[in-house]
Amino acid sequence: MKRKIAAIFAADIAGYSRLVAEDEEETLRRLASYRQVTDDFIAKGGGRIFNTAGDAVLAEFPSAVEAVRCAIDIQESLRTRNMAYPPSRQMAFRIGITIGDVVERDGDLLGDGVNIAARLEGLAEVGGICVSRAVHEQVVNKLSVQFADIGAQEVKNIPTPVHAYMVAMRREDGTYSIPQVKKPAKASAQPTWMWPVAVTLVSLAAIGAGGFLYFTKLETQAVKVATPAINVSPAPSAVPAPTAAPTAAPDSKAATSSPPPAPSPPPIGSTEKFAAANVPFVSDKTRTSLAGEYAGARDFKAFSLNTGGFSAWVTAQPSEEAARTAAVEQCQKRADAAQSPRKCELYAAGDDVVYAHGKPPVPPLPWVRHDAVTEQPFASKDVPLTRDAGKTRFENIYVPGKKTKTIALGPGGAFFFFTAMDSVDEAVRRSLESCGAVAGVPCMIIALDDNFVVPIPTTLRVTGFFKAAGNAMISPEARDDVARRIADATSGWNAVAVGAAGRPGLGLKAATEQAAVNAALADCVKRDGDCHVIAIGPFSVGPH
């Protein structure tokens, strides 16, 4: 047997047994896909998987820095993949990392280092990372990562408490979460005389809470019964209308996107009246046709669409149910014929909007700003936040695609692009609407025709969208000022650096990316120490 010091990485899937019980085949299929992601990142970071069991993965790294960097890459990549599933079906890892003395036997590793990594994984949040103090000391000054000290934690089968830290994970908007302590350190023992008092108080509280919840439940049920579901059925015409053939709305000339869409919010009732100018995803020509043919048609009628821009409507149907069914079926046939992965859904029944998901999120205007200083020729390899498969799609479809064409990108890596559009305004609008529906948050136009229209960093790795107002790395009292100054700097390259105390330094309106970076660092060191760049242009950044 051989002893050595190694960084031990332990991961497993939160709620894995429940996911298997609900849908075994689908869970196992996705596990294989997600394991491919984790295995690739582990290998890329110089790690070695030494044990697996079901959903669990144990790996060793020669460097704590590489282990933490690998864990962050895995969590961010899987977070993007999970956006395609409803919360109840998302498959998220918890990861624990420590440095310890281990024994190697037949390729497997044994010892306290392995056990502690597994216990730290149990402390981690769903989709989060928990590390030991030894790892924190190795990493804190080498990676642009924030930690939350959760103190000494008593864990199963480890005789002494383990001092642990949570890694602050990046949100979709580029800001960082504040980790929550999952298991607090064991409290000191209370005097024996307090137990009867505590039991009495807990019992009284339970009785009171039970009574409150019981009556609250009755009130909630009464409200549900008293509130009718919105399902407007227009009165039939005095003269029966003839049955018309379904009318398929014209579709976009070319459209494509990132992998399957983000989970849709739960259905909600809508009181909005149909207006063709407000219909998302579809072309301007389709809106014009809807304004004339659909809006002026007699009941029963319905209109269906999907986020890729496919749509269909029917009019003069024998009943509302028939209209709803025919509209969705016709739309889905068109989508299937074009191999669109997006599901068609009912948007309007009669003159009422019944679409459950509301308007897709889009950013504030202007959606495109041209700046000769920062615009550069489009290159698929330079598109940030996207994996190799996405870059290949850009190269094979977007680059040779006809103008007008645009790419919209989300902060988590979701994207959507259209080619051969009739106008810039239509291309930009549709890309942002479809990308926003996929990502669940506003996207950004990064390319128009053959140029990047936002600054694309190359000196550092893009990690998300930068928003100064909510950025936890900047001291609270400075955030509004940083946001204001960046908003005023509408041309040239901008960069933001921060120091250990969160005091920011800015490099604004620079002629080059490197000049902005240098200016931000120089400004930061005037008022803080250990400065590093956290944003370039509209993006948050970190080390390559």
For residues 365-384, average pLDDT: 95
- Please tell me whether residue 534 adopts helix, strand or coil conformation: strand
- Give the CATH number for residue 53: 3.30.70.1230
What DSSP state is assigned to residue 511?
S
278 CB burial (10 A radius; 0-12, 13-18, 19+)? exposed
The model carries a pTM of: 0.56
Is the pLDDT confidence value at 62 over 50?
Answer: yes
Claim to verify: residue 440 and residue 472 sit in the same structural domain: no
pLDDT tens per residue, range 90-138 = 899 999 999 988 888 877 888 888 999 999 998 999 999 999 999 998 8
366 or 236: which leads in pLDDT:
366
Claim to verify: residue 390 and residue 331 sit in the same structural domain: no
pLDDT given for residue 146 in this prediction: 84
Residue 27: domain span: 2-167
Give dist(CA 191, CA 3) in Å, integer.
Answer: 45
- Overall residue count recorded for the chain in this entry: 544
Window from 50-64, 288-302, 319-333 with minimum mean pLDDT: 50-64
Claim to verify: residue 339 and residue 261 sit in the same structural domain: yes
Is the pLDDT confidence value at 254 over 80?
Answer: no
Is the pLDDT confidence value at 350 over 90?
Answer: yes
Residue 231 lies in a domain: no
pLDDT given for residue 257 in this prediction: 55
For residues 194-216, average pLDDT: 43
Is the pLDDT confidence value at 387 over 90?
Answer: no
Where do we find the tokens 């800001």? Answer: 175
Claim to verify: residue 35 and residue 140 sit in the same structural domain: yes
Confidence of residue 270 (pLDDT cuts 50, 70, 90): low
Give dist(CA 65, CA 69) in Å, integer.
Answer: 6
Claim to verify: residue 51 and residue 100 sit in the same structural domain: yes
What DSSP state is assigned to residue 380?
G
The residues facing 507 across adjacent strands are 495
Q: Which of 13-17, 207-211, 232-236 has the highest mean pLDDT?
A: 13-17
Residue 114 lies in a domain: yes
Window from 39-53, 249-263, 379-393 with minimum mean pLDDT: 249-263
Where do we find the tokens 């009292």? Answer: 477
Claim to verify: residue 332 and residue 280 sit in the same structural domain: yes
Single residue among 105, 139, 167 that ends a domain in this structure: 167
H-helix segments, 140-193: none
pLDDT given for residue 182 in this prediction: 47
Is the pLDDT confidence value at 507 over 80?
Answer: yes
Claim to verify: residue 406 and residue 467 sit in the same structural domain: no
Residue 200 lies in a domain: no
Give dist(CA 311, CA 327) in Å, integer.
Answer: 8
For residue 236, what are the CA distances in angstroms to 31, 241, 297?
52, 9, 13
Residue 186 lies in a domain: no
pLDDT tens per residue, range 126-160 = 999 999 999 998 888 888 788 888 888 888 778 88
Dmax (CA) of the chain: 91
Long-range CB pairs of 384-391, under 8 A, 24+ apart, other chains included: 384/409, 384/446, 384/456, 384/457, 384/462, 384/539, 385/409, 385/410, 385/411, 385/412, 385/413, 385/462, 385/463, 385/464, 386/258, 386/413, 386/415, 387/77, 387/413, 390/258, 390/415
pLDDT given for residue 337 in this prediction: 87
Single residue among 167, 191, 223 that ends a domain in this structure: 167
Window from 9-23, 222-236, 360-374, 508-522 with minimum mean pLDDT: 222-236
Residue 229 lies in a domain: no
Claim to verify: residue 446 and residue 473 sit in the same structural domain: no
Claim to verify: residue 397 and residue 490 sit in the same structural domain: no
Confidence of residue 176 (pLDDT cuts 50, 70, 90): low
Mean pLDDT of the chain: 82
Residue 226 lies in a domain: no
Q: How many domains does the chain have?
A: 4
198 or 104: which leads in pLDDT:
104
Residue 176 lies in a domain: no
Claim to verify: residue 413 and residue 530 sit in the same structural domain: no
Is the pLDDT confidence value at 520 over 50?
Answer: yes
Is the pLDDT confidence value at 235 over 60?
Answer: no
Claim to verify: residue 157 and residue 87 sit in the same structural domain: yes
Single residue among 452, 476, 492 that ends a domain in this structure: 452
- Please say whether the beta carbons of 474 and 502 come within 8 A: yes
Claim to verify: residue 530 and residue 408 sit in the same structural domain: no
- Please tell me whether residue 456 adopts helix, strand or coil conformation: coil
Window from 18-22, 308-312, 381-385, 442-446 with minimum mean pLDDT: 18-22
Is the pLDDT confidence value at 225 over 50?
Answer: no
Is the pLDDT confidence value at 236 over 90?
Answer: no
